Amino acid sequence: DGGITQSPKYLFRKEGQNVTLSCEQNLNHDAMYWYRQDPGQGLRLIYYSQIVNDFQKGDIAEGYSVSREKKESFPLTVTSAQKNPTAFYLCASSIEDRSNQPQHFGDGTRLSIL
Amino acid sequence: GDSVTQMEGPVTLSEEAFLTINCTYTATGYPSLFWYVQYPGEGLQLLLKATKADDKGSNKGFEATYRKETTSFHLEKGSVQVSDSAVYFCALRVYSSGSRLTFGEGTQLTVNP
């Protein structure tokens, strides 16, 4: 079945450590997105990519980095500069340049600090 | 800029009650509108969508009508079930804003037997 796979489901980070969250899609979508969700809150956009080898900052990009070397993959690195990384991270994808098309979401990665 | 405002939760209902979750929006262009549902510990699933004024999106007994004159997209269901307990997000997408979705804060719905 086509979909978005995020891994791992749970991740723990030590102080000063960088961690990378994986996001893979087999929907042949051009655009991919990373969101952060804090308890009881909506989603905030971290980074997005509309085509391979290109990406843009969202609303809360500080302390995060991404790459888009392949159409199917959009990994997110949470760096040690992100001082409050504990949250639920959601990856999404969509057909690009079609505002009437929805975004499809993965099942998320829950990141906690040790 | 673009924004979405949802009614504050949480909302608690008894099974078979009528559900309304209000959603209003402001947009810089002509938006498409979406409702997503999030079950505990999971990602978001698209529930329904509407792409132009007066369109009605529907799915699994849920409905929402795109009202341009009132800039609203309220979610309704005639008879809720315990399995409908989840968080519901209203969202919009405007081509002129690129490809990003703008979300409301979410409304927690709990349905008791």
- pLDDT tens sequence across A77-97: 999 888 899 999 999 998 875
In this structure, how many other beta carbons lie within 10 angstroms of the beta carbon of residue A51?
12
Residue range B79-84: mean pLDDT, rounded: 96
pLDDT at residue number A40: 75
Give me chain B's average pLDDT, please: 93
- pLDDT tens sequence across B36-45: 999 988 889 9
Q: Do A97 and B34 touch (CB under 8 A)?
A: no
Collect all residues of chain A within an 8 Å Cβ-Cβ radius of residue B108.
40
**Among partner residues A40, A42, A100, which is closest to B89 by beta-carbon distance?**
A42
| Confidence check: pLDDT of B97 > 60 | no
H or E stretch covering B20:
strand B19-21
Whole-number percent of chain B with pLDDT over 70: 96
Helix (H/G/I), strand (E/B), else coil: B1: coil
Taking the C-alpha atoms of residue B52 and residue B24, their distance in angstroms, rounded to an integer, is 15
Q: Do A41 and B95 touch (CB under 8 A)?
A: no
How many CB pairs lie under 8 A apart between chains A and B?
Answer: 62
SS (H, E, C) B51-97: CCCCCEEEECCEEEECECCCCECCEEECCCCHHHCEEEEEEEECHHH
Collect all residues of chain B within an 8 Å Cβ-Cβ radius of residue A36.
none
Nearest to B7 by CA among B108, B110, B94, B92: B108
**Among partner residues B49, B94, B99, which is closest to A48 by beta-carbon distance?**
B99
Q: Do A50 and B99 touch (CB under 8 A)?
A: yes
Residue to substitute from A21, A93, A100, interface B, most B β-carbons within 10 A: A100
**Among partner residues A96, A101, A108, which is closest to B42 by beta-carbon distance?**
A108
Helix (H/G/I), strand (E/B), else coil: B36: strand
Taking the C-alpha atoms of residue A21 and residue B56, their distance in angstroms, rounded to an integer, is 37
Helix (H/G/I), strand (E/B), else coil: B24: strand
The answer to whether A74 and A32 are in contact (CB under 8 A) is: yes
- pLDDT tens sequence across A15-55: 889 999 999 999 999 999 999 999 877 899 999 998 899 99
pLDDT at residue number A105: 94
